[in-house]
Structure 1
Amino acid sequence: MRINNWQLKLGSALMLMCLLMLGSCATQQPQPAPVPIAAPPPPPPAPPPQTSAQPSRTVRTSYQGEQAAGRPTASGEPYDPDELTAASKIFPIGSTVLVTNPANGKSVKVRINDRGPHVRGRSLDLSKRAAEELGITDKGVARLRVRRIDSKPSKSESTKSTLDSASASTP
């Protein structure tokens, strides 16, 4: 049997390829160095605990006159212009708020019992009595300083939430 030169070269090439393949499987390839993973940023600091002393803010305030007397408020009670109450967009119903007129230094505590005022740019609508005690009835609208004193839910809200939780537990 005669082996041609090209057959010899082909056999040698195949043998070399087999050895290279076996050698590559048997040897371990150097692994690249692991890329260090950046540590996640620390969580943001917790907000400071809220204290009972709420900061005051200045808001545009108006007042309701006699025309709304007897109409139901958001708390369910009828509006009484002779009580120290207010409607607010920013404070929860049932809150007690200290309202101060910086122009004359007079202050009054009012209870939030309604939502409103429904006029753009105003955040508080006082009862007529509260407006008289603060001295803003001549102007009608004034910038007053307000600070929440406490946040107790109104009787109608607490009754409603009690009824809602009782009905939710009934199968």
Structure 2
Amino acid sequence: MRKLITPFLLIAIISIATSQSSIADKIKVSLQKTASQKDTLKKNKVAVLTQKDIVKDTLTEKYGKLATYKTNAHASYYADKFHGRRTASGAAFDMNEYTAAHKKFPFGTMLKVTNQVNGKWVIVEVNDRGPFVRSREIDLSKKAFMEIAKNKGIGVMTVTIEVFDK
């Protein structure tokens, strides 16, 4: 019956056979690492989610449900010259806030505007009337427009407009 060579016997043979102790030390360390490794296979576990583990949609909680108003709408942004002027709602226009101008929506309506090219979106509040260009559906503040724009040098983009129903 043949006996198998154990890792420790192998280390002893290698250390005697070689005159350099550093090689034997390296082999000894590597053999100890392999001998002490644990089984890395994990058993499949079934995860049970409780009610508190389910993440709620915070946008729906805050603003209400979304309803698509228009796809392939053309959006532009206000020129800088309107900064500080009064809007149709009476509020001062601030190009650094998330506001919009629309012809039909009541003031205070919250809209989700999504750029169709890159999928970025922003939530704005309607506080003005416009745009007064026939082919455009919505005017965004400069901050809202630049946040979702793919090309910062272009002033018009194609968007999807969704309305929050509360």
TM-score range, shorter chain: 0.5 to 0.7
C-alpha distance in 2 between matches for 1:55 and 1:128:
23
Structure 2 counterpart of 1:63 = 77
Correspondence 1:107 to 2:121: yes
RMSD between aligned residues: 1.8
Q: TM-score, normalised by structure 2?
A: 0.57
C-alpha distance in 1 between matches for 2:105 and 2:153:
25
Structure 2 counterpart of 1:5 = none
C-alpha distance in 2 between matches for 1:139 and 1:146:
19
In structure 2, stretches of 5+ residues that fail to align are: 1-63
Give 1:64 deviation, angstroms: 0.7
SS of 1:145's partner is strand
Aligned residues: 101
C-alpha distance in 1 between matches for 2:120 and 2:69:
15
Give 1:143 deviation, angstroms: 1.1
In structure 1, stretches of 5+ residues that fail to align are: 1-50, 152-171
Q: Residues 109-166 of structure 1, C-alpha deviation per residue, up to 9 Å, x if partnerless?
A: 0000000001111110000000110115421111100101146xxxxxxxxxxxxxxx
Change (3 A) 1:74 1:150: farther
Q: 1:149 is matched by which residue type in structure 2?
A: F
Equivalent of residue 121 in structure 1, options 125, 135, 138: 135
Q: Residues 69-89 of structure 1, C-alpha deviation per residue, up to 9 Å, x if partnerless?
A: 011001100100000000001
Matches within 5 A, 1:8-157: 52-58=65-71, 59-135=73-149, 137-150=152-165
Is the 8 Å Cα contact of residues 97 and 150 (structure 1) preserved in structure 2?
Answer: no
Is the 8 Å Cα contact of residues 73 and 113 (structure 1) preserved in structure 2?
Answer: yes
User: Based on CA coordinates, which of the two structures has the bigger radius of gyration?
Assistant: 1
Among the aligned pairs, what percent are the same residue? 43
Q: 1:74 is matched by which residue type in structure 2?
A: A
C-alpha distance in 1 between matches for 2:69 and 2:129:
20
C-alpha distance in 2 between matches for 1:103 and 1:113:
26
Is the 8 Å Cα contact of residues 54 and 148 (structure 1) preserved in structure 2?
Answer: yes
